[in-house]
Structures are given as C-alpha cells and as structure tokens.
Amino acid sequence: MDIADWRKKIDEIDQQLVEILNQRAQAAQEIGRLKRQTSMPIYEPDRERIVLEQVQQQNRGPLQHRHLVQIYERIMDVMRNVQKDEIVEETPGSGETEFDRDLKD
C-alpha cells in the first residue's frame, strides 16, 4: 500500500472511532443521569484506575501502555465533562446551581 492507501485506511478507522466515542459518550450521559439521581460524584478515581488497568491488559501494541493511558485519560476527562453537562442541563431552576458553585471552589 502507498501513503494514499494508508491515509484512506486511517480515514475509515477515524470514522469508526467517532461512532464508538459517541456511543461511549451516550453511555456516559446515562451514567451522569444516574449519578445525579443518586447524588454520586462525577469523579470516581477508583473506577478510572480500573479502566486504565483493563485497557493496559488488553493492549497488544504497537501502542505503548503509557501512550494508551494518555489517550484514555483524555477520553475519561471528556466523558466527565459530558456527565457534568448532563447534570447542569437538567438542574431545575435558573441562575447559579450548586454544581456551578462547586466548580468555582
């Protein structure tokens, strides 16, 4: 394959990644709703540690574990923001919310 073929392959993979990341975001939104209903915190370091351990165990390369961890740390950071958005959007009333005040602390 030449460079154009490899780039086409990357474009196809990127399309799949976008679809999968959006599926993950949808799951994160649902978890955010459940966390809001049960007053659970958005940030759960133990759960994130487990996710990072699992992806490292599944990694067969060529990505090094540290690179995969960097990618997943960013994914989880974005997904936390998706959950925060879910909580803020559905907070009743107008003006500053308790969540807004927590963010400023």
pLDDT of residue 45: 96
pLDDT of residue 94: 42
Global pTM?
A: 0.77
Residue 20 lies in a domain: yes
Taking only the tens place, the pLDDT of each residue in 50-68 is 999 999 999 999 999 999 9
Grade residue 104 by pLDDT with cuts at 50, 70 and 90. Answer: low
Taking only the tens place, the pLDDT of each residue in 22-49 is 999 999 999 999 998 999 999 999 999 9
- Tell me the residue range of the domain where 36 lies: 15-89
User: CA-to-CA distance for 20 and 46, rounded, in angstroms?
Assistant: 24
Read off the CATH number of the domain in which 38 is found.
1.20.59.10
Distances from the Cα of 13 to the Cα of 6, 29, 64, 76, 88, angstroms: 10, 24, 19, 20, 33
Residue 57 lies in a domain: yes
Total domains in the chain come to 1
pLDDT of residue 90: 54
The kind and range of the H/E element at 48 are helix 45-58
